[in-house]
Each structure stands twice: as structure tokens, then as C-alpha cells.
């Protein structure tokens, strides 16, 4: 990198930091247990990261920790903080607030020297190796990491903002999560809470079933006689089948009505009616989770070469199969792995390791392993868990689940519920702190 480039990038990053808010910059020293950026790796390069979710934040941090100070990392994000999807179902039953699920970017800047740029991406130039922002700023890169998460299809009938506010998905934690919480509070005893689950792949496989449980548990105690009707486009429960079958048939028996294999044709927000493949259904609250696709920046820049929805990647590096020099990690990529925060964190580490190796003229690790773990609340004080480990299979060129390491808890428990918060805190620290 020449001197001019360096100052251009540094000044842009500086501008981004001030935009992200400076109050957090004046804080206690970095805890000794967290890593420090080495200065002597000899590796140099400019990496731009688009999107500061679980994948984007982790890759930015680990590029600096493993690449060293010569790897200049700029994180482009439109929001000032990340709202965690994990645990956001607990906003619905009042156990968490949205404020408690916010994670800022100041640690990435002050502890690891990640440059922060607040803004929207207008275009990627894969030939000229630069990203242009909506305000005209241009960020040159040697490697680009795209981690925008997901976007949603529009369910027929829900085209307007008003209709979407009345029938929220709340599948991206934020305003809609609060809207759904308020709708629950406004329910009367004996009401119907209908939720719809899209066909795979969607974000957080156990998430919708977990939500059904959390809502049912709350309704039982607070709005007696109410029901949760779950309309699942999939032929059956897609994750933790034992835990959720037990939850639906035993723990929340008579409250949760689970109906698999039902797709949604349209929803009328004015009459609160769902038109489904099994007929019409009216409800007091409708929580419709639409089908997913990769975030807009992936679709707009020709990276969605798998069913026009997802970014095809080489899982040794997460480099796009559509454009060299561009890596796509997290929920936006098409892999055999689930779309979830824990595994996005691990994909980010593999991507960071690969980029550091590539910048040093080395080959990526030929046999990466990723892992996924999560806890699912079944009631307000019990939870289940699932785990999966994926190993690279050179024959298919894909990550394959190791069968012996993929499974779920034999029973829900209060210990699991307590461990859930330990897992969450540690995972968020690994990604954002």
C-alpha cells in the first residue's frame, strides 16, 4: 500500500469512528484475557468488511488478531450497533429488553484497531477492487468480505409498510421484536397467536419452534385459554425434533397446535386472515416469517449464484464462486451449514485465517472444522440444546456434519437454561468484545 492509500483509509476510518459514537472510546484498559494485535507478522493488506453482524464483527476482529497490524481492516455498517437475534425471543416474554441485546463496535476499534465506517454500500467493483458507498466515498481493498445476513421475500398482501407493521416477522431483532411483544400484551384471554415458518433454508433452524414455546408459556400464565397455531412450510420439525415434539405434545399440550406441510398463499392484514394451502385461518396476532434470501448487497452485485438467492462459496476460504477476491460469510452464503450466529462466528474465523494466509502467499488450511451450538428455551426457566460439528469433505468440496457430534439434549432442564446465558455472553464476547 502506498502512503496516499494509507492516509485515505485511515482518515475514512477515523470519520467512521466519530460517527459511531465516541463515548465508549474512553474506557478501561482491555482485559488481559482478550487478545492483542501483533505488530510483527510481516503480513500486509487492505480488507474491507461489509456488515457488522456475528460474521462481520468476528472476521474483522480475527483478521487483526491473526493478521497483525499490517492488515488494515475497515468495517462498513449502516447501524451504530448490532441487535442480537439470539435471545430475542426472550423479549417476547419480557425476560430481556432489546437494549440488553445491543452490541456496539467500539471494542473492535479501540482494542483491535478496526476502522469503522458508518454507511450504506452503493456498489462493489470486483475488477477495480473497491467498494463505493452511498455517499460517494470509495474504499479500495485487496480482499473484500461480504456479510450482510438475510433479507425477506414479501408475502402477498403484506406489500405496504402498514401491513408489515401489523403482521411483523420479528425475525431480524429490532423494532419488529418490540411490535410483536406489544401485540402479545394486547391479546385477550382465549386469543389465537398464529405463526408461519418458511421452507428451509432459513435463519436459526430451531428459532421458530423456540418462539412458539416461549409465547405459549407466556400465554398460559398471562392470557389463559389462548392458543399458538404454528403453520410450518416444512414437512416436519427441522431442528431438535425430540425437544420440540415433547414441548408441543407434552409441555405445551393443548396450547401449541403444530401443523406441518402448510404454505402461505397470502395474508390479509385488515381482517387478520391467513390464506394457506390448508384453507383460511383468522388470528388475533399473526407472526409471519417470510422466505429468506441473502442480503441485498449480495443480490445486487451478482454474488447470488445459488438459486438466485444465496452466494456460492468455496468453504476453504469462503471466497465467492462468482467473483475472485470477494468472500461471503454467515447467513448470506450457500453452504451445508445452518444459518446461525454461532456457526457464522466460526465461518468468520476460517475466512480470516484463509485471508491472512492468502495475503502471505500461502494456501488455506485444507481441513477446516466448524461447530454450532445453541440453547433453546422451552419455558421461562428450562431450555434444551443442540450441537453440530462440520468437517471439510474434499470429495464433495463441502462441510459435512459429523454424525456422532450432531445431536440434542435428552431432556430440557433448568441447568441448560442457566448455561444458555453463559454461552450467549461468551459468544458475544468472542464476536464483539
Partner 1 sequence: MNREITRWRALLWLPVALASTCVAAQTTTAPPAGRLLASNCFQCHGYDGKSRIGFERLSGESSNEIYKELREMRAKSKPDIMDMHARGYTDAQMRLIADYLATQKSTSSTTAADVKTSKKSEKKESKS
Binding to partner 1 by residue 393, rule CB under 8 A?
no
Q: Are 101 and 427 in contact (CB under 8 A)?
A: no
Q: Which is nearer to partner 1, 35 or 312 (CB)?
A: 35
Binding to partner 1 by residue 429, rule CB under 8 A?
yes
Residue from 12, 20, 37, 303 binding partner 1 (CB under 8 A)? 37
Q: Which is nearer to partner 1, 31 or 136 (CB)?
A: 31
Binding to partner 1 by residue 30, rule CB under 8 A?
no
Binding to partner 1 by residue 303, rule CB under 8 A?
no
Residue from 221, 253, 259, 422 binding partner 1 (CB under 8 A)? 422
Binding positions for partner 1, 319-358, rule CB under 8 A: 342, 345-346, 349-350, 353, 356-357
Residue from 122, 123, 306, 373 binding partner 1 (CB under 8 A)? 373
Binding to partner 1 by residue 136, rule CB under 8 A?
no
Binding to partner 1 by residue 6, rule CB under 8 A?
yes
Set of cell numbers at residue 12 = 475514512
Q: Which is nearer to partner 1, 270 or 410 (CB)?
A: 410
Q: How many residues bind partner 1 (CB under 8 A)?
A: 72
Binding to partner 1 by residue 178, rule CB under 8 A?
no
Q: Which is nearer to partner 1, 308 or 403 (CB)?
A: 403
Q: Which is nearer to partner 1, 195 or 348 (CB)?
A: 348
Binding to partner 1 by residue 415, rule CB under 8 A?
yes
Residue from 8, 21, 34, 222 binding partner 1 (CB under 8 A)? 34
Binding positions for partner 1, 39-78, rule CB under 8 A: 39-44, 62, 65-66, 68-70, 72
Binding to partner 1 by residue 260, rule CB under 8 A?
no
Binding to partner 1 by residue 310, rule CB under 8 A?
no
Binding positions for partner 1, 111-130, rule CB under 8 A: 113
Amino acid at each position: 500500500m502506498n502512503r496516499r492509500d494509507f492516509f485515505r483509509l485511515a482518515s475514512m476510518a477515523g470519520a467512521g469512528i466519530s460517527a459511531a459514537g465516541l463515548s465508549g472510546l474512553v474506557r478501561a484498559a482491555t482485559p488481559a484475557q482478550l487478545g492483542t494485535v501483533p505488530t510483527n507478522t510481516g503480513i500486509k493488506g487492505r480488507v474491507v468488511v461489509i456488515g457488522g453482524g456475528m460474521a462481520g464483527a468476528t472476521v474483522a476482529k480475527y483478521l487483526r488478531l491473526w493478521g497483525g497490524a499490517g492488515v488494515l481492516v475497515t468495517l462498513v455498517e449502516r447501524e451504530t450497533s448490532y441487535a442480537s437475534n439470539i435471545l430475542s425471543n426472550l423479549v417476547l416474554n419480557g425476560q430481556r429488553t432489546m437494549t440488553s441485546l445491543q452490541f456496539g463496535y467500539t471494542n473492535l476499534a479501540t482494542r483491535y484497531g478496526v476502522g469503522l465506517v458508518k454507511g450504506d454500500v452503493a456498489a462493489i467493483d470486483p475488477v477495480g477492487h473497491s467498494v463505493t458507498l452511498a455517499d460517494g466515498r470509495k474504499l479500495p481493498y485487496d480482499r473484500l468480505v461480504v456479510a450482510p445476513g438475510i433479507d425477506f421475500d414479501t408475502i402477498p398482501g403484506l406489500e405496504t409498510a402498514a401491513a408489515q407493521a401489523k403482521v411483523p416477522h420479528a425475525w431480524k431483532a429490532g423494532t419488529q421484536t418490540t411490535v410483536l411483544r406489544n401485540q402479545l400484551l394486547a391479546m385477550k384471554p382465549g386469543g389465537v397467536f398464529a405463526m408461519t415458518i418458511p421452507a428451509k433454508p432459513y435463519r436459526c433452524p430451531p428459532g421458530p419452534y423456540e418462539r412458539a414455546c416461549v409465547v405459549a408459556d407466556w400465554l398460559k400464565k398471562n392470557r389463559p385459554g389462548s392458543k399458538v397455531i404454528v403453520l410450518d412450510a416444512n414437512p416436519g420439525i427441522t431442528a431438535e425434533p425430540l425437544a420440540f415434539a415433547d414441548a408441543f405434545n407434552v409441555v405445551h399440550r393443548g396450547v401449541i397446535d403444530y401443523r406441518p406441510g402448510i404454505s402461505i398463499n397470502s395474508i390479509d392484514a385488515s381482517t387478520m386472515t391467513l390464506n394457506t394451502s390448508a384453507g383460511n385461518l383468522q388470528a388475533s396476532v399473526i407472526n409471519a416469517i417470510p422466505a429468506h434470501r441473502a442480503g441485498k448487497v449480495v443480490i445486487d452485485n451478482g454474488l447470488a449464484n445459488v438459486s438466485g438467492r444465496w452466494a456460492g462459496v468455496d468453504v476453504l476460504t469462503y471466497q465467492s464462486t462468482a467473483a475472485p477476491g470477494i468472500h461471503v460469510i454467515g447467513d448470506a452464503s450457500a453452504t451445508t451449514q445452518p444459518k446461525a450466529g454461532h456457526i457464522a462466528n466460526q465461518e468468520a474465523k476460517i475466512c480470516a485465517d484463509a485471508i491472512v494466509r492468502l495475503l502471505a502467499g500461502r494456501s488455506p488450511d485444507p481441513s477446516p472444522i466448524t461447530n454450532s451450538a445453541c440453547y433453546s428455551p422451552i419455558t421461562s426457566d428450562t431450555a434444551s440444546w443442540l450441537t453440530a460439528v462440520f468437517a471439510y469433505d474434499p470429495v464433495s468440496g463441502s462441510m459435512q456434519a459429523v454424525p456422532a457430534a450432531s445431536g440434542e439434549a435428552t431432556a430440557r432442564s433448568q441447568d441448560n437454561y442457566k448455561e444458555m446465558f453463559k454461552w450467549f455472553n461468551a459468544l458475544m464476547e468472542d464476536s464483539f468484545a
